[in-house]
Amino acid sequence: MLGLTFGAGPPGDSSPPEYTVTGQIVPPVNDGGYSLITLDGYKSGEVRDLSVINNNATWTPNACPTGSSTLHMVVVSTTNSAGCIPGDSGGPMYQHESSNFNYVDAVGDIDESEGSTSCWGEQIGYETTDSNTRLMIAP
């Protein structure tokens, strides 16, 4: 996702849609269309219009030792959707811009699902800081 454009779509899709990354965003919680984002996991493909139910959340994965946690997570509701299933980790989370559907703002990447009700992802700003990288955006 760290590029000017990226393709989205499920495995085997020979012509996935391509979006231009124009910036990054921490979407607001429960704010109508402003809090809807898209997930693009390897297994589930692109799943749109998922509502942000928390941001800057703290998550303690089952695999981590007691007391460890990951901060600055975006949480979306996946109830009644096919998004965020095992194998989707690492896929991008983004928000389409209202002025042009082909332009997106990076939100983060998929980290973990909590059963069938929510999906957690690390916010892009903290991800790039932790990895000492930067998000390349279109001019």
pLDDT at 4: 46
The answer as to whether 137 is a domain residue is no
Q: Name the percent of the chain lying above pLDDT 90.
A: 16
The CATH number of the domain holding residue 24 is 2.40.10.10
The answer as to whether 67 is a domain residue is yes
The answer as to whether 60 is a domain residue is yes
The answer as to whether 113 is a domain residue is yes
Other beta carbons within 10 Å of 11: 8
The answer as to whether 139 is a domain residue is no
Q: Among all chains, which residue has been given the structure tokens 């589930």?
A: 44
CA distances from 21 to 3, 30, 32, 95 (A): 7, 24, 22, 10
The answer as to whether 37 is a domain residue is yes
Helix (H) and strand (E) counts for the chain?
1, 8
Across the chain, mean pLDDT equals 80
The answer as to whether 106 is a domain residue is yes
CA distances from 26 to 93, 94, 131 (A): 11, 10, 18
**3-state class (DSSP) for residue 39:** strand
Mean pLDDT of 84-103: 88
CA distances from 7 to 3, 15, 19, 128 (A): 10, 8, 7, 20
Per-residue confidence band for 85, with pLDDT thresholds at 50, 70 and 90? confident
CA distances from 101 to 5, 41, 85 (A): 13, 19, 25
Q: The domain containing residue 118 runs over which residues?
A: 5-131
pLDDT per residue over 2-56, tens digit each? 444 555 555 566 666 788 899 999 989 988 778 899 998 888 888 889 999 998 8
The number of folded domains in the chain is 1
Q: Among all chains, which residue has been given the structure tokens 């109508």?
A: 32
The answer as to whether 121 is a domain residue is yes
